[in-house]
């Protein structure tokens, strides 16, 4: 036999051998498939996207949340038609106070505030080039009161669709329509709604796209940006708005507290995100952001890691999360230890600085609440918290402003930063207070609650009460 040449029986595989090998690998594939299926079966024998441990985690979280009775929902009521009429009339009075002829806005958050239509509800595909704008003008009634007179600039072929939006108006909506080949802005300027005014002064909303502002300004109108009493209308919440904000923010905090009781060692940040989101959904809330950070990950205030870090004893858990209810936002943050970590911590974990900073941030938040009073400035609220943190030697680790207003948007004006001396606080304004200390590559702490400025005394917490300890968030 020549070297390198195998006999027929060794150099070629028989058909029978091939069949046996194929059967062998088929059996392995079937067993593997069964194993995967077994691991993903829930307790009701239905396929789920969870491992059994995560499934139990989610069930525990939702059951614990529901066991509260969801009492917080009782303060929320979907805004009725008269609420929108009130908002537009308040805007009309503000326009007179600011010397403005009309307020102009296209679909978005502000349009939703005044007429209950969001941008996706008008243009489900994308914001397009044909303007659809709401024009709100002040009008004096025979008894001398000021009310809103509203007109919509809309493409002629879209007029019927605009009417089908069922916007909250007592009367049929008034429209100014244009054809595709017309100048949209000249069409509005030439309409009869302006009477004898040659260059009506329009205040445009901050969400108005630039090309529409320029189009109006280049075709007969005088354009000014959002400011003054007009801006303050949305900043000052009605009691009905505060009721919704109380419900969604308290509900978000209660969801965090319920989920915390079910945490286990080795769960990932991403798994906590998923379970907490589904827990909030159990109360009819719609989560829209969720930052979950363990240990050193929390040194980045808004995250940035991939969410795969697993929870270990001694890790601070920082959760900053928001949901929507009836169009209004929650935005709360808690920093805490998991339930399996003992209180007080075992000495070998060396967590003295962590606990001191946790209390420092809570004290800074309390200082901000005392400064959040009628006729105070937005700057003073930030400075009250910042001074305390700086005096403890962590000034450089408090890297962002203290907070912001909140309503149908999570971040609204006015903003609580140390340079904002121009914004004066009014009763009914609602703010976050969210001081934080972030020690890079080690840990981070932030507490965030929602507060209402009241006429007398300190601001009122409407997010379920402040954190009490790292074991009682």
In a domain, 331, yes or no: yes
In a domain, 290, yes or no: yes
147 lies in the same domain as 121:
yes
Q: State the virtual CA torsion across 290, 296, 300, 303 in degrees, nearest 10.
A: -30
Q: Is pLDDT of 35 > 70? A: no
Identify the CATH number of the domain in which residue 172 sits.
3.40.350.10
Note whether 189 and 243 are same-domain residues: no
Both tokens of 385, joined, read: 């918290």
- 330 and 437 both lie in a single domain: yes
Spatial separation of the C-alpha atoms in residues 48 and 378, rounded to whole Å: 48
Q: Is residue 2 part of a domain?
A: no
Report if residue 25 sits inside a domain. Answer: no
Q: Is the pLDDT of residue 463 over 50?
A: yes
Query: What sign results for the dihedral spanned by CA atoms 459, 285, 53, 67?
Result: positive
- Assign 20 a pLDDT band (cuts: 50, 70, 90): low
Judge whether 22 lies within some domain: no
Residues 256 and 213 in one domain: no
Q: State whether 148 and 256 are in the same domain.
A: no
Residue 454 inside a domain? The answer is yes
User: Which pLDDT tens digit goes with each residue over 77-130?
Assistant: 999 999 999 999 999 999 999 999 999 999 999 999 999 999 999 998 888 899
Q: State residue 125's pLDDT score.
A: 87
| pLDDT one-digit tens code per residue, 140-154 | 999 999 999 999 999
Mean per-residue pLDDT over the chain, rounded: 91
**Domain range enclosing 290:** 239-461
The lowest-confidence range among 15-19, 217-221, 248-252 is 15-19
Note whether 434 and 288 are same-domain residues. Answer: yes
CA 117, 119, 121, 123 torsion: positive or negative?
positive
* Structure confidence at residue 24 (pLDDT): 52
Residue 147 lies in a domain: yes
Domain count, the chain: 2
Cα(247)–Cα(53) distance, rounded to whole angstroms? 31
Here the tokens at position 55 are 């499934």
Is the model's pLDDT at 14 over the cut of 50? no
pLDDT digits (tens, 9 = 90+) for 267-297: 999 999 999 999 999 999 999 999 999 999 9
Is residue 445 very low, low, confident or very high in pLDDT (cuts 50, 70, 90)? very high
Residue 365's domain is classified under what CATH number?
A: 3.90.230.10
Inter-residue contact 433 to 405 (CB < 8 Å):
no
pLDDT of residue 177: 98
CA distance 225 to 103: 10
Average pLDDT over residues 229-254: 97
Domain end, chosen from 209, 235, 261, is at 235
Asked whether the beta carbons of 220 and 49 are under 8 A apart, the reply is no
274 and 418 belong to one structural domain: yes
Choosing from 235, 252, 271, the residue where a domain stops is 235
Q: pLDDT tens digits, residue range 311-335?
A: 999 999 999 999 999 999 999 999 9
Whether the per-residue pLDDT at 2 is higher than 80: the answer is no
- Say yes or no to pLDDT of 219 above 70: yes
Model pLDDT, residue 210: 96
Q: What percent of the chain has pLDDT over 70?
A: 89
Residue 47 pLDDT: 38
pLDDT in tens, 339-355: 999 999 999 999 999 99
Among 315, 316, 293, 295, which Cα is nearest to 305's?
A: 293
Would you say residue 404 lies in a domain? Answer: yes
Among the three residues 205, 235, 265, which one is the final residue of a domain in this structure?
Answer: 235
SS (H, E, C) the chain: CCCCCCCHHHHCCCHHHHHHHHHHHHHHHHHHHHHHHHHCECCCCCECCCCHHHHHHHHHHHHHHHCCCCHHHHHCCCCCHHHHHHHHHHHHHHHHHHCCCEEEECCCHHHHHHHCCCHHHHCCCCCCCCCCEEEEEEEECCCCCEEEEEEEEEEHHHHHHHHCCCCCCCCCCEEEEECCCCCHHHHHHCCHHHCCCCCCEEEECCCCCHHHHHHHHCCCCEEEECCHHHHHHHHECCHHHHHHHHHHHHHHHHHHHHHHCCCCCCCEHHHHHHHHHHHHHCCCCEEEEEEEEEHHHHHCCCCCCCCCCECCCCCCEEEEEEEEECCEECCEEEEECCCCCCCCCCHHHCCHHHHHHHHHHHHHHHHHHHHCCCCCEHHHHHHHHHHHHHHCCCHHHCCCCCEEECCCCCCEEEEECCCCCCCECCCCEEEEECCEEEECCCEEEECEEEEECCCCCCCEECCCCCCCECCEC
Looking at the fold, whether 349 and 284 belong to one and the same domain comes out as yes
Question: Model confidence over 53-77: pLDDT tens digits?
Answer: 999 999 999 999 999 999 999 999 9
């Amino acid at each position: 036999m020549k070297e390198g040449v195998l006999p027929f029986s060794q150099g070629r595989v028989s058909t029978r051998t091939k069949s046996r090998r194929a059967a062998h690998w088929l059996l392995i594939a079937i067993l593997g498939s069964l194993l995967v299926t077994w691991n993903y079966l829930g307790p009701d024998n239905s396929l789920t996207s969870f491992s059994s441990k995560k499934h139990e985690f989610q069930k525990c979280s939702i059951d614990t949340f529901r066991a509260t009775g969801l009492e917080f929902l009782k303060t929320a009521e979907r805004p009725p038609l008269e609420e929108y009429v009130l908002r537009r009339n308040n805007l009309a009075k503000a326009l007179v106070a600011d010397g403005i002829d009309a307020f102009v806005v296209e679909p978005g958050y502000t349009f939703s505030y005044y007429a209950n239509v969001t941008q996706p509800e008008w243009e489900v595909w994308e914001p397009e080039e044909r303007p659809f704008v709401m024009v709100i003008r002040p009008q004096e009634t025979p008894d001398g009161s000021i009310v809103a007179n509203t007109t919509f600039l809309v493409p002629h072929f879209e007029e019927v669709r605009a009417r089908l939006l069922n916007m909250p108006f007592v009367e049929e909506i008034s429209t100014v329509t244009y054809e595709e080949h017309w100048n949209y802005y000249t069409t509005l300027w030439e309409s009869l709604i302006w009477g004898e005014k040659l260059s009506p002064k329009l205040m445009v909303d901050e969400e108005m796209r630039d090309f529409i502002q320029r189009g109006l300004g280049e075709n007969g109108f005088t354009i000014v940006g959002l400011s003054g009493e007009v801006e303050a209308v949305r900043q000052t919440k009605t009691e009905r708005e505060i009721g919704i904000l109380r419900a969604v923010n308290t509900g978000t905090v209660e969801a965090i507290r319920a989920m915390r009781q079910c945490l286990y060692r080795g769960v990932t940040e991403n798994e906590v995100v998923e379970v907490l989101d589904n827990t909030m959904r159990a109360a009819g809330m719609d989560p829209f952001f969720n930052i979950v950070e363990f240990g050193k990950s929390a040194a980045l205030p808004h995250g940035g890691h991939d969410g795969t870090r697993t929870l270990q004893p001694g890790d601070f858990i920082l959760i900053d999360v928001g949901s929507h209810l009836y169009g209004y936002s929650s935005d709360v943050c808690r920093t805490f230890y998991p339930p399996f970590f003992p209180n007080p911590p075992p000495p070998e974990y060396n967590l003295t600085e962590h606990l001191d900073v946790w209390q420092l941030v809570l004290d800074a938040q309390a200082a901000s609440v005392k400064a959040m009073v009628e006729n105070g400035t937005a700057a003073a609220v930030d400075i009250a918290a910042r001074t305390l943190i700086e005096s403890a030697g962590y000034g450089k680790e408090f890297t962002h402003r203290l907070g912001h207003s909140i309503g149908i948007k999570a971040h609204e004006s006015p903003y609580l930063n140390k340079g904002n001396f121009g914004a004066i606080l009014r009763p009914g304004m609602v703010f976050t207070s969210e001081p934080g200390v972030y020690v890079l590559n080690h840990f981070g702490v932030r507490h965030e609650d929602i507060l209402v400025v009241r006429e007398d005394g300190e601001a009122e917490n409407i997010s379920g009460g402040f954190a009490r300890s790292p074991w009682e968030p």
